[in-house]
Amino acid sequence: MKEVLKRGFMSFALSSFAGLLVNLIIDVVMNTSFTTGFTSMSPDYVALFPSVTIAAYVNILLYGVIGATFALSAYIYEIEKIGFIIQSIIYFIITSSVCVGITILLWQLHKYPSAFISTLAGYLATHIIMIVIEYRKLKADIKVINELSSDKEQS
Amino acid sequence: MKILTETDSKYKEIELHVCNNALTDEVRAVVGELHEIYDYSIPGTDGAGNKRIIRRAEILSAYSEGQRVIVLTIDGRYTVQKKLYELENDLGEANFIRISKSEIVNIHKIKSLDLSITGTIKLVMKTGYETYVSRRNVAKIKEKLTKERLEGRA
Q: What is the 3-state secondary structure (H, E, C) of chain B?
A: CCCCCCCCCCCCCCCCCCCCCCCCHHHHHHHHHHHHHHHCEEEEECCCCCEEEEEHHHEEEEEEECCEEEEEECCCEEEECCCHHHHHHHHCCCCEEEEECCEEEEHHHEEEEEECCCCCEEEEECCCCEEECCHHHHHHHHHHHHHHHHHHHC
- Residue A37 is predicted with a pLDDT of 61
- Tens-digit pLDDT profile for residues A7-16: 889 999 999 9
Rg of chain B over Cα atoms, rounded to whole angstroms, equals: 18
Is B151 a residue whose pLDDT tops 80? no
Half-sphere exposure for B72 (CA within 13 Å, toward CB): 18
Contacts of B117 in chain A (CB under 8 A): 83, 85
Is A77 a residue whose pLDDT tops 80? yes
Cα separation, B57 vs B71, in Å, equals 12
Domains annotated on chain B, with CATH: 25-153 (2.40.50.1020)
B77-80 β-sheet, strand order: B51-55, B41-45, B77-80, B68-73, B59-65, B103-106, B96-100
ipTM of the complex: 0.71
- Residue B63 is predicted with a pLDDT of 94
Q: A2 vs chain B: nearest CA distance in angstroms? A: 15
Q: Is A78 exposed, middle or buried (0-12, 13-18, 19+ CB in 10 A)?
A: middle
Q: Residues near A22 by Cβ (< 8 Å), separated by ≥ 6? A: A40
Residues of A numbered 73-112 whose beta carbons fall under 8 angstroms of chain B's beta carbons: which are they? 77-78, 80-88
Q: pTM of this prediction?
A: 0.70
pLDDT band at B2 (very low <50, low <70, confident <90, very high): confident
Of A129, A143, A74, A133, the residue nearest B113 (C-alpha): A143
A81, A84, A149 member nearest B145 (Cβ): A149
- Residue B94 is predicted with a pLDDT of 63
The answer to whether B130 contacts chain A (CB < 8 Å) is no
Residues of A numbered 10-69 whose beta carbons fall under 8 angstroms of chain B's beta carbons: which are they? none
- Tens-digit pLDDT profile for residues B64-106: 998 899 999 988 899 999 899 988 888 766 688 999 989 999 9
The answer to whether B139 contacts chain A (CB < 8 Å) is yes
Q: Which of B61, B114, B117, B118 to mutate to test the interface with A (most CBs of A within 10 A)?
A: B118
CB contact under 8 A, B121 and A138: yes
CB contact under 8 A, A83 and B138: no
Is A32 a residue whose pLDDT tops 70? no
The answer to whether B133 contacts chain A (CB < 8 Å) is yes
- Residue B70 is predicted with a pLDDT of 94
Contacts of A88 in chain B (CB under 8 A): 119
Which CA distances in Å does A32 have to A39, A56, A85? 10, 18, 47
Q: Are B137 and B100 in contact (CB under 8 A)?
A: yes
The answer to whether B101 contacts chain A (CB < 8 Å) is yes
Of A113, A102, A106, A98, the residue nearest A41 (C-alpha): A106
